[in-house]
Amino acid sequence: MSDQPEERYEDSQLYRIRHSAAHVMAQAVLEFYPETKYTIGPPVENGFYYDFDLPEKITEDDLQKIEKRMRQIISAGHPFVKKVVSAEEARQVFKDQPYKLELIDGLEKGGLDEYGNPLAEKPVISLYQSDTFTDLCRGPHVENTRQINPSAFKLMSIAGAYWRGDEHNKMLTRIYGTAWKNPDELKQYLKLLEEAKARDHRKLGKELEIFIYDEEVGPGLPLWLPRGGVIIEELERLAKDTEEQAGYSRVRTPHLTKEDLFLHSGHLPYYAESMYPPMEMEGTRYYIKPMNCPMHHKIYGAKPRSYRDLPIRLAEYGTCYRYEKSGELFGLMRVRSMQMNDAHIYVTEEQFEQEFMAVMEMERKYLELFSISKFVMRLSLHSKQGLGKKYVDNERLWLKTEDMVRRAMTNGHVPYVEVANEAAFYGPKIDGQVWSAIGREFTLSTNQVDFAQPARFDLKYMSKDGVEETPLCIHRAPLGTHERFVGFLLEHYAGNFPVWLSPEHAVVVPITDNQNEYAEKIVAQLRDQGLRVSADLSSQRMNAKIRSAQLMKVPYMLVVGENEANAGQVSLRVRDGFRADNIPLSEFIERAKDRISRRAPEL
């Protein structure tokens, strides 16, 4: 890690600009809609938002007038003035603002933030005033509104948002904006957004026939179309090949289990809100599984184990189900049904570092294979305040296992950053954070330590000294879930998958109907060689057929006319623009099979 850590976003001037722009926006909205009840307006990555309970519906056409008024407020140079007040004083200021009163109650009584989460310390209640607008706010802000460049911000969109992110609360109107230091930065960001629209995995997923959602099936439950099924099969084959070489054993477990198992594991107290409700049959309650680990623990414990057996690596691409809130569902990135690249490794304490770093090396190779260059490894730690609530209540083991992970990462020369209060409930973890080509950040992989569940399940192995010991467990998912990873790859490649991962390797394009029979013979030969290929025998002209294949981002187009048919050849058109006319079919087969067998990035 660098000796000089990067400046935190929360400490930056850009954060202050965006936070201040949110207040200016709120002032403008209140001037146009005086009966508005306002809630919170934080800076976020690339911009800011504010949530309003408006007396009437507004549309994106209204943003222009709000922007205009914001520029007038900014040009006046109003200072941002902070004032620390008592809870009672704050209530007087916001006596007509019920959401603010709720926030004040949380700050005073429970030390809760705006989302109802406990704060590490009881907060100071402070207000910030600028011109006619006063907000309940921790800050920080710019000194005065002129430090917001009037040519470097833009209101972007309107969305619905539940108060405090809870779908049981009222739906509010959220206005998003972006703000930058200068107009060039804004222009660059807007250009990136245009690229993001073109690469959006939801758009590409529909156009390339990868996945769909259906109202009758339910939100967050994707249906994989045949072309998407191919991608999943290839990713699973990659994982199985890699894990077989690394000494993993594959297992399978059911999709549902008795409630007792999740009580035994300790998951229910921590995950109940994220689980589908139980079903009852013959007096027994069952849950569909949100994770595979309790069943893997049962498999480990099914027979006596010796230190000679360890490490034991159990892998499964099991389907899990989690009830994500409706407002948090997002394409393939946040779903309710997920197929996880899951495995659990049971180790002695002496084996831990080697096995943990073997997972990190597997992750490194995956990142290299998919040409993912922007990533960071994040060590997620517990917080003492969360013990017994969010985390297993054993401070000694938390500190011990966190140090074990630090030592392993340091000895393995793998850079990482630390983040507090983001651990799994049973132990620390390393999350692989990656960025797609359009700058969107995702948690792709995870490598977790579990010091709690092996003991809860009374898992044992016989040590060299003939004494029963409890193993440590490493939970790992280096490819995350199919859903999130395919969504990421769609954006990462803009749908232009490498040959081995492409739903279709080639399309044969006959120039006229006279070559249809020859095209079908080529398809048969290529399929015998293991290639995914079809022939376009439609009545379209050749150029239209090629265009159709290009729109589906097929890597190879094999054009066949009278000359090619007579000579037993093809004319190759590659997605990247390369052409090779009148080549033997065997030459193309050699090229394609080479790329596929190596899982090569090049075409």
Percent with pLDDT over 90 in the chain: 81
Please tell me the distance from the alpha carbon of residue 251 to that of residue 265, in angstroms, as a whole number: 19
Averaged pLDDT for residues 503-523: 97
Say yes or no to pLDDT of 114 above 90: no
Residue 389 φ/ψ, nearest 5 degrees: -115, -70
Greater pLDDT, 192 or 16 = 16
pLDDT value of residue 382 = 82
Of the pLDDT bands very low, low, confident and very high (cuts 50, 70, 90), residue 387 is confident
pLDDT value of residue 8 = 79
pLDDT value of residue 234 = 97
Regarding the domain delimited by 499-598, which CATH topology (the fold level of the hierarchy) does it fall under?
Rossmann fold (3.40.50)
Contact 42, 154 (CB under 8 A): no
Regarding the domain delimited by 9-186, which CATH topology (the fold level of the hierarchy) does it fall under?
Threonyl-tRNA Synthetase; Chain A, domain 2 (3.30.980)
Range list for CATH 3.40.50.800 in the chain: 499-598
pLDDT digits (tens, 9 = 90+) for 436-464: 877 778 889 999 998 889 999 999 999 99
pLDDT value of residue 6 = 60
pLDDT value of residue 398 = 87
Q: How does DSSP assign 57-70, residue by residue?
A: ---GGGHHHHHHHH
Regarding the domain delimited by 207-490, which CATH topology (the fold level of the hierarchy) does it fall under?
BirA Bifunctional Protein; domain 2 (3.30.930)
pLDDT value of residue 77 = 96
Count the Cβ atoms, other than its own, within 10 Å of residue 459: 19
Mean pLDDT, rounded, of the chain: 92
CA-to-CA dists, residue 536 to 8, 70, 161, 603, angstroms: 54, 56, 46, 21
pLDDT digits (tens, 9 = 90+) for 33-65: 999 999 999 999 899 999 999 999 999 999 999
Contact 141, 100 (CB under 8 A): no
Task: Assign 258 to helix, strand or coil.
Answer: strand
pLDDT value of residue 596 = 97
CA-to-CA dists, residue 228 to 40, 209, 211, 225, 497, angstroms: 40, 7, 6, 5, 12
- Which candidate, 365, 341, 357, places its Cα nearest to that of 409? 357
Of the pLDDT bands very low, low, confident and very high (cuts 50, 70, 90), residue 4 is very low
Q: How far is CA 531 from the centre of its chain?
A: 31
pLDDT value of residue 268 = 84
Averaged pLDDT for residues 297-318: 96
Most confident of 28-42, 104-118, 187-201: 28-42
Please tell me the distance from the alpha carbon of residue 45 to that of residue 153, in angstroms, as a whole number: 14
- Which candidate, 70, 59, 336, 348, places its Cα nearest to that of 219? 336
Lowest mean pLDDT, pick from 101-110, 327-336, 466-475: 101-110
Of the pLDDT bands very low, low, confident and very high (cuts 50, 70, 90), residue 3 is very low
Q: Output the six-digit token pair for 579.
A: 């052409």
pLDDT digits (tens, 9 = 90+) for 331-347: 999 999 999 999 999 99
Of the pLDDT bands very low, low, confident and very high (cuts 50, 70, 90), residue 272 is confident
Give the contacts of 366 (CB within 8 A, at least 6 positions apart).
372, 445, 478, 479
Give the contacts of 522 (CB within 8 A, at least 6 positions apart).
508, 533, 535, 558, 560, 570, 585
Range list for CATH 3.30.930.10 in the chain: 207-490
pLDDT digits (tens, 9 = 90+) for 531-583: 999 999 999 999 999 999 999 999 999 999 999 999 999 999 999 999 999 99
Count the Cβ atoms, other than its own, within 10 Å of residue 563: 13
Averaged pLDDT for residues 306-315: 97
Of the pLDDT bands very low, low, confident and very high (cuts 50, 70, 90), residue 354 is very high
Indicate left, alpha or beta for 121 from its phi (over 0: left) and psi (-120 to 50: alpha): beta
Say yes or no to pLDDT of 299 above 90: yes
Lowest mean pLDDT, pick from 70-79, 377-386, 406-415, 472-481: 377-386
Contact 489, 537 (CB under 8 A): no
- Which candidate, 168, 166, 135, places its Cα nearest to that of 48? 135
Please tell me the distance from the alpha carbon of residue 300 to that of residue 294, in angstroms, as a whole number: 10
Most confident of 1-5, 367-371, 415-419: 367-371
pLDDT digits (tens, 9 = 90+) for 58-97: 999 999 999 999 999 999 999 999 999 999 999 999 999 9
Say yes or no to pLDDT of 2 above 70: no
Say yes or no to pLDDT of 474 above 90: yes
Lowest mean pLDDT, pick from 120-129, 138-147, 558-567: 120-129
Lowest mean pLDDT, pick from 230-244, 285-299, 318-332: 318-332
Count the Cβ atoms, other than its own, within 10 Å of residue 570: 29
pLDDT value of residue 112 = 58
pLDDT value of residue 120 = 54
pLDDT digits (tens, 9 = 90+) for 182-195: 999 999 999 988 98
Please tell me the distance from the alpha carbon of residue 569 to that of residue 555, in angstroms, as a whole number: 18
pLDDT value of residue 355 = 97
pLDDT value of residue 1 = 37
Range list for CATH 3.30.980.10 in the chain: 9-186
Please tell me the distance from the alpha carbon of residue 386 to that of residue 421, in angstroms, as a whole number: 8
pLDDT value of residue 129 = 96
